[in-house]
Amino acid sequence: MNQSSCYAPHTTSDRHDMSNPLYFNTEFTTSAHTLAQLPKDSIAEVAFAGRSNSGKSSAINVITRNKKLARTSKTPGRTQLINHFQVTPGNYLVDLPGYGYAKVSKSQIKHWQTTLGSYLRTREPLRCLVIVMDIRHALSDHDWRLIDWALQGNVELHCLLTKSDKLSHGAAKQVLLKAQSTLEEEGIECTLQLFSALKKTGIDDAHELLDTYLNQNTTPPDAEESSPVD
């Protein structure tokens, strides 16, 4: 992956032709409170993480064309477990707990931080972390924490700048370029893209990303190797 590169947006006319219908068959598999409960048959995973109210669940639902797949709510922080969605056997999309605004106990927040950090650092099948950011609040302190955890593991990074419909095209592009420049200055390798669940733009680029990391023709690892102990 090239350092801080960004996907070129597709036009409206070719959006549907470029989508991969494979992701429209994605199904919920399991929810885990600890790392020991994660699927043991996993070959490859792409995880989505983001601050509460960043549009993470909506993005997953649009990418999979299933509005009921990931839990969405007007109340931030509803994703409180690590949720696995199977694309094909052994290949998963992962919805990680939201952070930032969630009204939960300090002990719960500590558990999330410990579990989330351990997952990003040690989960062997994890291939890529998609950091979902509201385009109006890109690269927050919480986002940098995720980046730091991911860099401690062997995980590729992708920034999904959601709610791009809230800005003009020119303004949205400027935010993307600024984020790209900031990451480059820090020497961080990352791809970036604009996304709007409302307008359903950026789906092709998201599918292209998933194609890179999922659907690998490999054999699932042994159970003992695939699931770290919490």
Residue 223 is predicted with a pLDDT of: 42
Q: What is the mean pLDDT of each run of 10 residues along the chain (230 residues)?
A: 46 53 94 94 96 90 93 53 94 86 67 87 96 95 90 93 97 97 96 97 96 70 44
Residue 137 is predicted with a pLDDT of: 93
Q: Coil, helix or strand for 205?
A: helix
Number of domains within the chain = 1
Residue 75 is predicted with a pLDDT of: 44
Residue 72 is predicted with a pLDDT of: 56
Sign of the CA dihedral running 89, 207, 117, 71: negative
In a domain, 223, yes or no: no
Q: Coil, helix or strand for 201?
A: strand
Residue 110 is predicted with a pLDDT of: 79
Long-range contacts of 175-183 (CB under 8 A, 24+ apart): 175/135, 175/138, 176/6, 176/135, 178/138, 179/138, 179/139, 180/4, 180/5, 180/6, 181/4, 182/139, 183/4, 183/139, 183/159
The span from the CA of 107 to the CA of 115, in Å, is 12
In a domain, 224, yes or no: no
Residue 229 is predicted with a pLDDT of: 41
The burial class, CB within 10 Å (0-12 / 13-18 / 19+), for 218 is exposed
In a domain, 226, yes or no: no
Supply the range of the domain harboring residue 105: 12-216
In a domain, 225, yes or no: no
> Residue-wise over 58-82: b if at least 16 C-beta within 10 A, else e?
bbbbbbbebeebbbbeeebbebbbb
- Distances in whole angstroms, Cα of residue 118 to Cα of each of 35, 36, 206, 223: 8, 11, 25, 18
- If you search the block for the tokens 């969605």, which residue do you land on? 85
In a domain, 2, yes or no: no
What is the number of other CB atoms lying within 10 angstroms of the CB of residue 106?
7
CATH number, residue 151: 3.40.50.300
> Half-sphere exposure of residue 93, counting CA atoms within 13 Å on the CB side?
27
In a domain, 103, yes or no: yes
